């Protein structure tokens, strides 16, 4: 893959002040960086402000959620067409916080995936195992199950030009990042799994790792051949850390 992909997921954090300061500093620091795609996924209320702030840069806009419906009486929801309308390109779905705190099932996530693909947006499909599955050695099984629920209904071609974010649930927001070699093994499995079902197309899938990524552990993770990029939560709210992670991604994948 030609470019690394680093996504900053602000989750339920941010303000107009953060939008202006963070995006100003980020654009300044990233001048000259060419081989790392950077996406900012702020809370939905700031999407327009972020869009305005990044309009002269290569940074792209991401959203943290989408509804399963196209339109109608669904108070509080946002459709894929609306996200596209305001310039969003990437949309995070299947995040474990939505699966757990909002009871989103694999079927709901598959429907969101379908709505995004239909609109020409890029799903960032988060998959990963629970701590119990990890302890039982069922990581690959859990990932395959979460891929299958989409593939079996929508076909294997839908995985062309999508982002799969491998995020072990036990590693998210815990400070316990997975070991780079373990992540490599899972990413290689995911790539092969998709390839087998969709001959010669798996190289079109970008596979990110997410889970307590910091500027300290990013280099070792990015050194792994099947880690194409990083989905960064808390560390993306610290401008120095986030810039360092992006610089490391650009450097590492240039060498690769």
Q: Name which of 99 and 156 has its Cβ closer to ligand PEP.
A: 99
Q: Is 172 in the site for ligand PEP (CB under 6 A)?
A: yes
Q: Is 178 in the site for ligand PEP (CB under 6 A)?
A: no
Cα–Cα distance, 123 to 89 (Å, whole number): 9
C-beta of residue 80 within 8 angstroms of C-beta of residue 113: no
C-beta of residue 40 within 8 angstroms of C-beta of residue 69: no
C-beta of residue 92 within 8 angstroms of C-beta of residue 41: yes
Radius of gyration of the chain (CA): 17
Q: Helix 16-29 and helix 239-255: axis angle, to 10°?
A: 40
| Interaction pattern, residues 74-113, with ligand PEP; x per rule: CB under 6 A | ---------------------x------------------
| Interaction pattern, residues 11-30, with ligand PEP; x per rule: CB under 6 A | x-------------------
Q: Is 202 in the site for ligand PEP (CB under 6 A)?
A: no
Q: Is 10 annotated as a binding residue?
A: yes
Q: Is 167 in the site for ligand PEP (CB under 6 A)?
A: yes
Q: Is 231 in the site for ligand PEP (CB under 6 A)?
A: yes
Q: Does 152 participate in catalysis according to the annotation?
A: no
C-beta of residue 119 within 8 angstroms of C-beta of residue 81: yes
Q: Does 167 participate in catalysis according to the annotation?
A: yes
DSSP 112: H
Q: Is 170 annotated as a binding residue?
A: no
Q: Is 118 annotated as a binding residue?
A: no
CA atoms within 13 A on the CB side of 244: 13
In the complex, the smallest distance separating the C-beta of residue 123 from ligand PEP, rounded to whole angstroms, is: 14
Q: Is 232 in the site for ligand PEP (CB under 6 A)?
A: yes
C-beta of residue 219 within 8 angstroms of C-beta of residue 252: yes
- Residues designated as active site: 95, 167
Q: Which residues contact ligand PEP by CB under 6 A?
A: 9, 11, 95, 167, 172-173, 210-213, 231-235
């Amino acid at each position: 893959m030609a470019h690394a992909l680093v996504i900053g997921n602000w989750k339920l954090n941010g303000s107009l002040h953060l939008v202006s300061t963070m995006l100003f500093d980020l654009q300044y620091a990233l001048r000259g960086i060419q081989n790392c795609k950077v996406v900012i996924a702020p809370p939905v209320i700031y999407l327009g402000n972020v869009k305005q702030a990044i309009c002269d840069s290569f940074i792209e806009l991401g959203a943290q959620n989408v509804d399963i419906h196209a339109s109608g009486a669904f108070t509080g929801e946002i459709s894929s067409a609306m996200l596209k309308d305001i310039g969003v390109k990437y949309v995070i779905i299947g995040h474990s916080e939505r699966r757990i705190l909002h009871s989103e099932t694999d079927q709901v996530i598959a429907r969101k995936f379908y709505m995004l693909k239909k609109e020409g947006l890029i799903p960032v499909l988060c998959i990963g195992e629970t701590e119990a599955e990890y302890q039982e050695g069922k990581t690959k099984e859990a990932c395959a199950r979460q891929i299958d629920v989409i593939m079996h209904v929508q076909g294997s071609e839908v995985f062309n030009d999508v982002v799969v974010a491998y995020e072990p649930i036990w590693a998210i927001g815990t400070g316990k990042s997975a070991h780079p070699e373990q992540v490599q093994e899972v990413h290689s499995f995911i790539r092969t799994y998709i390839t087998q079902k969709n001959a010669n197309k798996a190289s079109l899938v970008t596979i990110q790792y997410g889970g307590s990524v910091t500027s300290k552990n990013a280099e070792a993770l990015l050194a792994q051949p099947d880690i194409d990029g990083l989905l960064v939560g808390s560390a993306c709210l610290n401008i120095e850390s986030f810039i360092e992670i992006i610089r490391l991604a650009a450097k590492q994948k240039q060498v690769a």
